[in-house]
């Protein structure tokens, strides 16, 4: 069996490229309907034919071979550098048949790179609805490369394109001997000089691109760059003029091809269904009203749909803990298992239903095409605060996780807008904050309904909107201080509306649950085990007096009496207070007491910097260790609701609950977020600024809200 070959998938955004990637490789991967979902190239293995395996490289969508954003440069580098490990032996260009003229520009550029090419035409059904009929055989003759009609969403044409790939690999298809346009005539002397300086350059068009972007290409060494610079100066190379001439010549040839191979009906045909729907969803008033309704239903559904499985999981863990406490021997091993490991697992397992539902609903919005409309609707607001519509994509993605959301800012061409978007994206409430919000809302917000409106759902929606509007406010302030002056444009192609692929929705929900359990779960359990140790042990000088005081008293009373229960609770509380964890908590308590937080919350604030989900696991461990062993069947919510200050006042009131939720809404998310900000900005300055301003913002807002409601 021969070694796998590299095949690159390229195409305009929204052309169906990622869907074809999934169909070829069988990998379960998120597919969106708006530009920027494919930030880095993704790879998968596909069985093309007997004995023929391919590494499929899914490259970011781009409109031409003139990159403007960081993600477009990923595609550009792979195609131009034909001597790297990722150099494709074959390129599959996924082209939208309903927008053929624009797609053919990119196709013609890649054909001229002299890489073997196959064109996969998608959206043929939409083209027919527009009254567009395409002569595939004629198009193939005009372009000189294979053309295959495909519909990867319905798995149509995949077998046919695999057959064509197999034939291309066996050299049944050759690259066109003539260029699509006369590239050599655009800058003949410069192209010849570049081809002499870079022996690996196979085509006139590739040499032209090396001349245009010589300073940005990593595979060109300093000696070659100096030779090319000299040639550019000698022949007075004007790259803007050359690019303009190239594009004009390509569109002239494309116009001829379209005339020969495409039949279009009267352009005054009736509107497509998507355009009619857009008249309502993008309306200047109703569009925003519908957006708010959609967001409200999303957060109401998270509470309503998840309540039943969450109650079942929470009750099951409580019952299991109680049964194990009464069954297993009373020793340190049992205590470690129940109050360390089991408490940690229960701290994150109960929120799996909400994580799955959140990602399922977001996937539906993406799959139907509505997510792209949200970007369009909010562009006007974004521009007023120094951003643009493309900033909405990372901000919305931040509702899931800030790490990929910050990576998605690579689609923003303007440096100032990209930097501001990176700086404010962590203010969006990510899914890791969802367990904290859920726990505190259930604890301090009454379960009241006003018709179909639930108070708890409204509070949840308010927290997410609060993060969004605070991000907008901070962006407006940063606009005044970031001194990068660069014009920006927001051009977006709105995808057609489609019914969601329910299999994709289900797969995404399962995959996100696995990631939550694997990534967040293991961190929570490890920290829970460490906390169990810190909360169970302490310096002998502090722990011995506690034992000497309470053990004789407990020995004198009936173990089943109410007096014994009271003494035992005081004993466990004193042990926890004098443990290593208690000492740490009491040290930081004066700083957080003005926010309504006790020392246990303080410990959770520290541990949750590893990952926000850890907060719940930390509280589960601390309250399990610090409680009466005979009360292990109580749920975490019940333990928190009975928590009191030394004077008997409840710890978790409306004031302290709102204060805690607000603190987590604005505080810096986690170490992973800081690391990705450093990687994207190439400086520790910006994550440091984020940490300071977000922590200060969280503290001030929590202080204000606590003192208003207390």
Cα–Cα distances (Å) from 171 to 4, 168, 174, 175, 601, in that order, read: 16, 5, 6, 10, 67
pLDDT value at position 624?
66
Q: Left (φ > 0), alpha (ψ -120 to 50) or beta: where does 579 sit?
A: beta
- Kindly write down the DSSP assignment for every residue of 7-31, as one continuous string: EEEEE-TTSSHHHHHHHHH------
Distance between CA atoms of 702 and 601, rounded to whole angstroms?
14
* Non-local CB neighbours of 531 within 8 Å, separated by 6+ positions: 340, 581, 603, 607, 618, 621, 622, 625
At a CB cut-off of 8 Å and minimum separation 6, what does 285 contact?
none
CA 316 to chain centre: 32
pLDDT tens-digit readout, 174-231 = 788 888 889 888 888 988 888 888 887 888 998 898 888 888 777 888 888 888 888 8
pTM of the model: 0.61
Q: How many CB atoms lie within 10 A of CB 277?
A: 16
Is residue 399's pLDDT more than 70? yes
Q: Kindly state the tokens that stand for 657.
A: 């609950």
Give strand pairing partners of 149: 121
Sequence-distant (≥ 6) Cβ neighbours of residue 170 within 8 angstroms: none
Q: Is the dihedral of CA 616, 619, 624, 628 positive or negative?
A: negative
DSSP for 398-426, written as a single string: TTT-HHHHHHGGGG---HHHHHHHHHHGG
CA atoms of 559 and 232, how far apart (whole Å): 93
Contact of 109 with 205, CB cutoff 8 Å = yes
Instruction: Give CA–CA dist 302/41, Å, rounded.
Output: 32
484, exposed or middle or buried, with CB in 10 Å at 0-12, 13-18, 19+? exposed
pLDDT tens digits for range 483-518: 656 555 555 566 677 778 787 788 778 877 777 677
Residue 517's CB: how many other CB atoms inside 10 A? Answer: 16
Q: What angle do CA 405, 411, 416 make, to 5 degrees?
A: 90
Which helix H or strand E contains 581, and what residues bound it? helix 580-592
DSSP annotation string for 40-62: S-EEEEEEEETTEEEEEEEPPP-
* Between residues 98 and 527, the one the model is more confident about: 98
The pLDDT of residue 30:
43
In 262-369, alpha helices (H):
273-281, 286-327, 332-336, 343-349, 352-368
* CA gap 410, 73 in Å, rounded: 10
Q: What is the pLDDT of residue 660?
A: 93
The per-type count for the chain, helices as H runs and strands as E runs, is: 32, 10
Q: How many CB atoms lie within 10 A of CB 443?
A: 19
Count of all residues that appear for the chain in the document: 710
**pLDDT confidence tier of residue 593, bands split at 50, 70 and 90:** very high
DSSP E strand boundaries for 140-297: 147-149, 262-264
8 A C-beta contact, residue 520 and residue 432: yes
What are the Cα distances from residue 471, in Å, to 168, 231, 398, 422, 701? 50, 48, 11, 10, 14
pLDDT band for position 432 (cuts 50, 70, 90): confident
Over the stretch 625-665, which tens digit does the pLDDT of each residue have?
655 555 555 667 777 887 888 788 888 899 999 999 999 99
Give the chain's mean pLDDT. Answer: 80
What CA–CA distance (Å, rounded) separates 42 from 71? 12
Q: How far is CA 54 from CA 21, 138, 162, 297, 554, in A?
A: 12, 29, 10, 43, 72
Give the model confidence (pLDDT) of 1-35 as tens digits: 567 888 889 988 778 887 888 888 875 444 443 33
104 backbone dihedrals φ, ψ, rounded to 5°: -70, -25
Residue 233 pLDDT > 70, yes or no?
yes
Which pLDDT score is estimated for 224? 86
Query: Domains plus CATH for the chain?
Result: 5-169 (3.40.50.300), 184-264 (no CATH), 520-709 (no CATH)
């Amino acid at each position: 069996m021969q070694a796998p070959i590299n095949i690159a998938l390229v195409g305009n955004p929204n052309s169906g490229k990622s869907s074809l990637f999934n169909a070829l490789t069988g990998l379960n991967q998120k597919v969106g309907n708006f530009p920027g979902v494919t930030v880095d190239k993704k790879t998968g293995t596909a069985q093309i034919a007997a004995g023929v395996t391919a590494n499929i490289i899914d490259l970011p969508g781009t409109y031409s071979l003139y990159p403007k954003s960081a993600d477009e440069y990923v595609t550009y580098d792979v195609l131009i550098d034909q001597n790297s490990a990722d150099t494709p032996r074959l390129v599959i260009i996924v082209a939208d048949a309903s927008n053929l003229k624009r797609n053919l520009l990119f196709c013609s550029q890649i054909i001229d790179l002299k890489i073997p090419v196959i064109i996969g035409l998608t959206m043929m059904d939409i083209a027919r609805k527009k009254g567009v009929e395409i002569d595939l055989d004629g198009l193939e003759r005009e372009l000189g490369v294979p053309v295959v009609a495909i519909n990867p969403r319905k798995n149509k044409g995949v077998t046919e394109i695999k057959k064509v790939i197999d034939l291309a690999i066996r050299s049944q298809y050759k690259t066109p001997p003539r260029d699509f346009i006369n590239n050599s005539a655009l800058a003949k002397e410069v192209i010849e000089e570049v081809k002499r300086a870079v022996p690996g350059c196979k085509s006139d068009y590739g040499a032209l691109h090396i001349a245009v972007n010589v300073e940005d290409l990593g595979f060109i060494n300093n000696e070659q760059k100096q030779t090319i610079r000299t040639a550019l100066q000698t022949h007075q190379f004007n790259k803007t003029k050359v690019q303009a001439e190239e594009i004009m010549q390509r569109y002239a040839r494309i116009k001829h091809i379209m005339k020969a191979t495409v039949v279009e009906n009267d352009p005054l045909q009736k509107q497509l269904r998507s355009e009619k729907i857009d008249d309502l969803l993008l309306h200047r008033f109703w569009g925003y009203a519908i957006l708010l309704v959609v967001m409200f239903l999303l957060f109401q559904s998270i509470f309503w749909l998840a309540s039943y499985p969450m109650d079942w999981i929470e009750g099951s863990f409580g019952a299991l803990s109680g049964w194990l406490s009464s069954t297993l021997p009373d020793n340190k091993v049992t205590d470690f298992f129940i109050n360390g490991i089991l408490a940690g697992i229960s701290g994150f397992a109960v929120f799996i239903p909400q994580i799955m539902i959140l990602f399922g609903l977001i996937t539906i919005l993406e799959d139907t095409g509505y997510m792209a409309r949200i970007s369009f609707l909010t562009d006007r607001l974004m521009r007023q605060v120094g951003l643009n519509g493309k900033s909405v994509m990372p901000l919305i993605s931040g509702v899931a996780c800030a790490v990929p959301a910050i990576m998605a800012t690579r689609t923003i061409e303007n440096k100032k807008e990209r930097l501001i978007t990176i700086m404010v994206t962590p203010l969006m409430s990510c899914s890791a904050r969802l367990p904290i919000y859920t726990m505190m809302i259930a604890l301090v917000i009454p379960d009241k309904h006003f018709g179909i409106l639930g108070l708890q759902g409204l509070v949840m929606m308010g927290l997410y909107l609060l993060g969004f509007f605070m991000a907008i406010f901070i962006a407006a302030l940063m606009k005044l201080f970031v001194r990068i002056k660069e014009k920006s444009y927001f051009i977006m192609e709105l995808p057609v509306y489609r019914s969601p692929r329910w299999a994709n929705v289900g797969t995404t929900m399962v995959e996100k649950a696995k990631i939550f359990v694997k990534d967040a779960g293991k961190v929570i359990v490890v920290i829970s085990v460490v906390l169990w140790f810190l909360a169970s042990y302490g310096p002998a000088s502090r722990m011995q007096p506690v034992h000497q005081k309470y053990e004789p008293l407990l020995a004198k009373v009936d173990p089943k009496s109410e007096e014994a229960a009271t003494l035992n609770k005081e004993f466990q509380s004193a042990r926890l207070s004098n443990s290593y964890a208690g000492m740490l908590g009491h040290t930081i308590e004066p700083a957080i007491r003005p926010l309504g937080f006790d020392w246990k919350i303080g410990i959770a604030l520290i541990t949750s910097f590893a990952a926000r989900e850890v907060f719940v696991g930390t509280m589960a461990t601390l309250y399990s260790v610090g409680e009466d062993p005979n009360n292990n069947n109580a749920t975490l919510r019940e333990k928190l609701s009975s928590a009191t200050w030394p004077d008997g006042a409840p710890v978790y009131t409306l004031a302290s609950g709102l204060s805690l939720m607000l603190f987590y809404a604005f505080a810096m998310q986690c170490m992973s977020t800081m690391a990705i900000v450093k990687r994207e900005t190439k400086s520790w300055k910006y994550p440091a600024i984020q940490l300071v301003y977000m922590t200060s913002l969280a503290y001030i807002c929590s202080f204000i809200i606590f003192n208003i409601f207390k």
